[in-house]
Every structure is written in C-alpha cells, then in structure tokens.
Amino acid sequence: MGISRNTVRKYLRSPQVPTPRPRPGRVSKLDPYKDYIRQRLAEGVDNCVVLLREIRARGYARGHSILKEFVKPYRLPRAPRATMRYETEPGEQAQVDFGRYRYLTPDGQERWVWAFVCLLSWSRALYVEFVDRADTPTFIRCHAHAWEHFGGVPRRCLYDNTKLVVVGRDEDGKPRWNERFLDFALRVGFEVKLCRPYRAQTKGKTERGVGYVEGNFWPGARFTDLGDLNRQVLAWIATVADVRVHGTTHERPVDRGARERPQLGPLLPRERLVPFLREERKAGRDAFVRWSGSWYGVPWLWAGKTVQVQADKTTVQIFAGEERLAVHPRASSPGRQLIVPGQWDGLPMREEKKRRSPAARQLATVEVEARSLGEYARILEEVTVR
C-alpha cells in the first residue's frame, strides 16, 4: 500500500480514530480590504470587476480569484433565463434604451438621473449620456450625439414601447408614432423598429448594456454635475467598456466598431437637425431662462415669453423662432447666472407706489350741555300734563 510501518503502528496503537491537528489560519492578501468589500456589498455592489478596480486603487496587488471566492457567499442566487440569440450585420441595427439611476446628494438626499444607452448591435460599441429629463427633445438630442460618437447612422434602431417613440396603438394593434420623433428618424435616415410588447429581451443587447453601465460604471461614480458625469462616462467607455474583450464576440468593441463604421449611413449636416435640437423654455419675469440648473439671460422684452434653448458641450444659445436672442458659454457648475450684454437696456424705470395700510376714522367731539336733575324733572312733568 506504500504506507510506512510507523504509520501503521501509530494507527493500530491509537485508542480512537486519529484527527489532524488544527492548522494555523493562513493570512490572505485580501484581509486588509475585506471590511471595505463588505461595506460595498452592503451598498449593493457585488460586481467583482468593479470591486477589483476599487481595491487595486487602494493597494491590492493580487488577482480576482480569491476576491470571487470571498464575494460568492454574499451574492443572491440568480434564476436561469433563456432566449433565442439574434445577430445582425455590420451597420444594420442599433438598440436604444433609457435607464434610471439613483444617487445621493452631498446632504444625503436621494435623487435620480436618466441615462440614454445606445449600442451598435454588431460591434457592441457603446454610447451613454446622462440627462435630467426623459422627454422627446432630450431623446432626439441624445440620438444626434450618439450618431456623431459612432461616426454614422445605422439602418434601423430597435426600441421598447416607450411613449417617446410610440404614443399608443390603434384598434388593430398598429403603433401610433410620436410624430416629432418619427419626423426626426425619417429626416436622419433610419428605420424605427419596436420589440414585441412585454418582451424587452428581444432588445437584449442594450438591456444588458443598461445593466453593464449600472453594474460597472455607476457604483464608482463620483460627480459634481451632469457635465462632469458625462465626461467621466465617455472616459469610461474609451478606457473600459470599448476596450474589453466582449464575452460573445471575443473581440474588443473598439476594433469591431472601426470595421463597422464604413457600413453606417452618412451623418446629416448639423444645421438640418437644428429644429430638433432645441428645447422650449419660458423666460422668467427677470428675463432669465432656467436650463440644466443655471440661469441664462435674454433681452428684457422676452420676459414671460416662450423661447427655445439650443445647447452643446460649450455654448447655450437662446432663440425665438429664427431670431437668436443670446449666446452664453455653458455654465461649468449648477446655480450660475449668466447675463447677456444689454439685457435690461431700455427697460422703463417705474416708481414704486407705496401701498397704504387701511385706516379707521375718528369722529368729531360733540359737546353736551350739562343740566341739573331738577330741570329734567320739570320737563317730564310738563310732558305728562299735556
């Protein structure tokens, strides 16, 4: 059996089955970071890719295997899901979705922000833009930014049944389109396609894209405003999302995107998209228009009237139809107030009339003649006699 005589003798002489001596616990390289990992797990962050990136920034120098083993007991089991995979040709399709993400303000209040997520189906190239509202002008503007980011327009785009795209269905089940968005799609040159109602997995690539942003980028996001957040997410796409080896294609999205770009349709000149890139706002009585958390001045004659805001990454322009009222540099932080030159020129200065408080009225003093009681008795007697 290949066993030493001494070993056999030891077992024969032992009154009971021998048990191994307890070994001293091994020191793990992960031990100094376990409290931090538990804290992040309590916050809902169980993505090992994110946790590894964060603890490496704190000095951890090992791989992810022992991290995965440590995190595994803390994860909730996930039910298996199955669906049919559908692959597309280069330049054929993009998938779009809106995600909603929670964040905490410096004073601990809970807030939400929207994320426009667009993914080219063949290359898996990604574009993400965070916005503070999910309305049609914002939705259209995000599309224009996405096509500029990709360098072209796909032949069709797949959506769920959001009201930003389809406002309802008729008696036959045919979609009633959001006319402004459909007009934009026809002008730019891509076909609008809807996934089956209540079957969001038919748009699975971008559904996973939303989850990827939520699981990989969002947990470590620390930002001051939307501009700062969007700069960070574009840097994350360039350094993380588009340069990783994709689990399905086994290639980097940035490499496949370079091959897909020539198959995309041409970009329209920006001036042809201008009517779609403006948002309506009402100027206040103080001749300021509130947009993206800051105030932008217009000439005082437009106070209280509806104007249109057209913004890019560096400037904010305000129009009234085709007339441009003001051009401002985009505020670097929320809460700023920017004045247009000559904003109050010609404003008539009216004297403020002081409001007088209501007053009571004092009556004049009435003098009464003083008489003796005997005089009143005599008058009473005369009246009685008569």
Residue 334 in tokens: 């929320």
d(CA 330, CA 332): 6
| pLDDT (0 to 100) of residue 84 | 46
CATH hierarchy code of domain 93-271: 3.30.420.10
**In this structure, what are the phi and psi dihedrals at residue 93, rounded to the nearest 5 degrees?**
-145, 145
Residue whose structure tokens are 């042809």: 272
Mean pLDDT (the chain, rounded) = 84
- pLDDT tens, position by position, 53-111: 888 888 888 887 888 888 888 877 665 554 445 578 999 999 999 888 889 888 888 99
Q: Helices marked H in 202-311 — which ranges?
A: 204-212, 226-236, 253-260, 270-273
Q: Where are the domains of the chain?
A: 27-77, 93-271, 277-338
**Global pTM value:** 0.63
pLDDT cut 90: percent of the chain above it: 34
d(CA 57, CA 278): 42
Residue 264 pLDDT class (50, 70, 90 cuts): very high
- Bigger pLDDT: 213 vs 270: 213
41-45, 78-82, 129-133: which has the minimum mean pLDDT?
78-82
